[in-house]
Amino acid sequence: MSWVASLRGRGVDLVEGAELGSRTTYRVGGRARAAVEVGDEGELARLASALREIDEPVPLLVVGMGSNILVSDHGFDGLVVTLGRRNFARFEAGEDGLVTAGAALALPVLARRVSAAGLAGLAWGVGIPGTVGGAVRMNAGGHGSAIGEILERAFVADLAGGGGLVARGASELDLGYRRSAIGDSEVVVKAAFRLAAGDREELGRAIGEIVAWRREHQPGGQNAGSVFQNPPDRAAAKLIDEAGLKGFRWGSAQVSERHANFIQADPGGRADDVYALMQEVRAEISKRFGVELLLEVKLIGFSSVSSGEVA
């Protein structure tokens, strides 16, 4: 019996052959073998219990807005887990500046809400097209700031360990540049942030300036934001630009002509073209500058991924 049938037999409401690549911001790539949307913490615990009861390991992928992943055209031969917005996108702000937000809440929405409430420290998040959970897991950042600077604790459930909610302080998460110690079987359920008092009008202006800057300097369309991590004391976009790779195309994928650290996918394009272009850019930068670029984008379902390609 397959793990799909085993989970169904234990009451897990799965969708087989679920859309995955089309749910990412690249909007290319294949399907998942199965997917489940978890409605509340009780359902999360029951899913964890069902996973522990079956004999074979199940590859897991927790997906929020899909803004930092590239899914192979062959898809993902595992279980995709998402959190329902009804119960996992709530937001509370205390008088002491402690803000608690559900993992399914979009980070730009949270940034606008706390800024409107006169709380400073997250205005930069208006330009990050991901969820709170994804931002914690990847220690998302922008405009000189990062989630780890304001994160007080994250509430995490391990689907391989029973699904119970555990509060983990920021210091326990080994937060670094676009990374954390949160594993593939772990789900960020909510997070608490410590913010400072600020002026609503000034914060509103900051929000507007960030949005305007991103519209001017970054492309729209089908992409996942910055593809490569910035090397120490270098900017990946500058290296790619200096290598003459702006506008460089590989099949249905192209290095953005507006921002060299973005790769655009054509409508109806192929994820494998995006992947191949990433590797061509990495090889050229290594050849010209002796710099090994590491990916910010997480690769899903690619069989030939080598060390350093998944950030």
Q: How far is CA 52 from CA 43, 56, 79, 267, in A?
A: 14, 9, 14, 40
Catalytic residue among 178, 214, 270, 282: 178
Question: Tell me: the pLDDT tens digits for 3-18?
Answer: 999 999 999 999 999 9
Give the predicted TM-score (pTM) of the model.
0.92
pLDDT of 34 > 80? The answer is: yes
Catalytic residue among 43, 186, 296, 309: 296
**pLDDT at residue 280, rounded to an integer:** 98
Q: What's the mean pLDDT in 34-61? A: 95
Domains of the chain: 3-85 (3.30.43.10), 87-216 (3.30.465.10), 221-300 (3.90.78.10)
Q: What's the mean pLDDT in 42-57? A: 93
Task: Write out the two tokens for 115.
Answer: 């800024």
**pLDDT at residue 304, rounded to an integer:** 57
Is 53 in the active site?
A: no
**pLDDT at residue 1, rounded to an integer:** 63
Catalytic residue among 67, 185, 226, 252: 226
Helix 200-217 × helix 107-116 angle, to 10°: 150
Whole-number Å distance between alpha carbons of 58 and 79: 7
Q: What's the mean pLDDT in 96-115? A: 97
Question: Tell me: the pLDDT tens digits for 244-300?
Answer: 999 999 999 999 999 999 999 999 999 999 999 999 999 999 999 999 999 999 999
Q: What's the mean pLDDT in 127-148? A: 94
Is 168 in the active site?
A: no
Question: Tell me: the pLDDT tens digits for 217-243?
Answer: 999 999 999 999 999 989 999 999 999
